[in-house]
Amino acid sequence: MKIMVVVASKHGSTREIAEVIAAELRLQKFSVDLVEAEHVNGLAEYNAVVFGSGVYAGNWLPEAVNFANHFQKELAQIPVWLFSSGPLGREKPQPQEDPDKLAASLGDVKARDHHIFVGKLDLADLTFAERMLVKAVRAPIGDFRNWTEIRAWAHSIASELRAANH
Ligand SMILES: Cc1cc2nc3c(=O)[nH]c(=O)nc-3n(C[C@H](O)[C@H](O)[C@H](O)COP(=O)(O)O)c2cc1C
């Protein structure tokens, strides 16, 4: 069984989440390709897709939206899991985005799950304009990603796929 993990990441933190998901799925004996959203040419040889994007100004990154628009028909034929990485902070991560709104570019594709992971903000990675913006909204700075939660989510995908094939 072959899985494509598709990711859109501007500053690399969502890409690292995708790498951990791919590694966990490989540990569970699945064959996994990790591909950037803008480099996906086709999904024909894949049995499932795990697709994630960083969130900027309340939306997925443009390359994630393009991928979702372009591959709607193919994604409707196979199991799909979505993740977004965005909210920041430790106690009550903000902002709280609506998963359905984020995934609007997928149209009628029914994902098995859409998990929102807490993200990472490092001022050193940002453009000048981004730095001004995050300072203006007083976004929490730091790496808030929860690797235990991320691995557990990937593990639950593996369990579902295995159960479906028995
Ligand atoms: C300029 C800017 C705008 C952001 N806007 C949002 C937002 O609207 N909603 C959200 O949940 N996270 C927002 N974030 C947080 C990012 O989604 C978070 O830092 C994420 O981990 C970045 O992923 P990446 O490193 O893969 O690009 C924003 C971050 C920056 C720098």
Q: What confidence tens digit (pLDDT) does each residue in 16-41 have?
A: 999 999 999 999 999 999 999 999 99
State the CATH number of the domain containing residue 38.
3.40.50.360
Give the HSE-up count for residue 54: Cα atoms under 13 Å, Cβ half-sphere: 17
Distance of alpha carbon 76 from alpha carbon 83, whole angstroms: 17
> Does the beta carbon of 121 lie inside 6 Å of ligand 1?
yes
Residue 38 included in any domain: yes
pLDDT value of residue 164? 87
* Closest atom of ligand 1 relative to the 13 alpha carbon: 25
Residue 166 included in any domain: no
Structural element, H or E, at residue 120: strand 120-121
Structural element, H or E, at residue 99: helix 99-102
Rounded to 5°, angle at Cα 116 from 5 and 28: 40
Could you tell me the residue range of the domain that residue 112 belongs to?
A: 2-159
pLDDT value of residue 166? 74
- Residue 108 CA to ligand 1 center (angstroms) comes to 26
> Does the beta carbon of 114 lie inside 6 Å of ligand 1?
no
The domain total for the chain is 1
Ligand 1 pocket test, candidate residues 85, 94, 126, most atoms within 8 A of CB: 85
* Closest atom of ligand 1 relative to the 61 alpha carbon: 27
Residue nearest to atom 31 of ligand 1 (CA): 130
pLDDT value of residue 62? 98
- Residue 91 CA to ligand 1 center (angstroms) comes to 17
Residue 64 included in any domain: yes
pLDDT value of residue 165? 79
Residue 65 included in any domain: yes
Residue 53 included in any domain: yes
pLDDT in tens, the chain (166 residues): 999 999 999 999 999 999 999 999 999 999 999 999 999 999 999 999 999 999 999 999 999 999 999 999 999 999 999 999 999 999 999 999 999 999 999 999 999 999 999 999 999 999 999 999 999 999 999 999 999 999 999 999 999 999 987 7
Residue 165 included in any domain: no
Residue 14 included in any domain: yes
Contacts of 55 (CB under 8 A, 6+ apart): 84, 85, 86, 87, 97, 102, 119
Residue 164 included in any domain: no
